[in-house]
Amino acid sequence: MFWILQPLAIYLLFTSWWPLPALYFVWFLLDWKTPEQGGRRSAWVRNWCVWTHIRDYFPISILKTKELSPEHNYLMGVHPHGLLAFGAFCNFCTEATGFSKIFPGITPHLATLSWFFKIPFIRDYLMAKGVCSVSQPAIDYLLSHGTGNLVGIVVGGVGEALQSVPNTTMLILQKRKGFVRMALQHGAHLVPTYTFGETEVYDQVLFHKDSRMYKFQSYFRQILGFYFCVFYGRGFRQGSTGLLP
């Protein structure tokens, strides 16, 4: 839905409604640094009823194994990425699984690619859910301003997404230790988190590293920051193939 707003805003610039998108784009420029300064979360967005339907579809729940004190900050390493990180999204970007009740006094943030916050309207939607940029300035800000902040990083990133297939879990940890260094610098506690069933959501076509398609995927990542994955799930009818998880 939010992807429709960009062309709509451009269209309105050439109508009598042009002041509306013009004011938004002025505010967009003035608000440019907000994603790296704690964001702008909305309890209303995090409590939309649609998130409970997503939770029940899979289903998704939180299994707490340790109390988290609001007197500290936390850096959470989330594994595995899967294709779309449904578990991390539902648990930390919404209140569908009751995060605030399970961990009172803790404010969760899930880090994602920085370029999402350069897209009008999409950035506001992400910030409303508590999503932050995975850039170092954004994480430094959250870990150095107050306590009770929890920043989740899907450590394997898009590299794990490209290898996500059912019945297999691949964790990419080599050369992904920067989050440990950041935790040490800020005195933040490290919290390991594992999402069971994340790689079972979709099946994926894996291409050989010498194939043209794999080279295209690598080139795609260089341009946009993530891989072009060929995946499929179930359809609306029993036994059919489609894009439903």
pTM of the entire structure?
0.89
Residue 240 banded pLDDT, cuts 50, 70, 90: confident
Per-residue confidence (pLDDT) for residue 237, from 0 to 100: 84
71 neighbors 186 (Cβ within 8 angstroms):
no
- Both tokens of 120, joined, read 């009008």
Residue range 72-127, pLDDT digits in tens: 999 999 999 988 999 999 999 999 999 999 999 999 999 998 989 998 999 999 99
Is the per-residue pLDDT at 129 higher than 90? yes
113 neighbors 107 (Cβ within 8 angstroms):
no
Per-residue confidence (pLDDT) for residue 117, from 0 to 100: 93
The 10 Å Cβ neighbour count of residue 60 is 21
Using DSSP's 3-state secondary structure scheme, residue 23 falls into helix
Per-residue confidence (pLDDT) for residue 3, from 0 to 100: 66
Per-residue confidence (pLDDT) for residue 159, from 0 to 100: 86
Task: Name which residue leads in pLDDT, 236 or 97.
Answer: 97
Average pLDDT rounded to a whole number, residues 121-140: 94
- Both tokens of 167, joined, read 């019945």
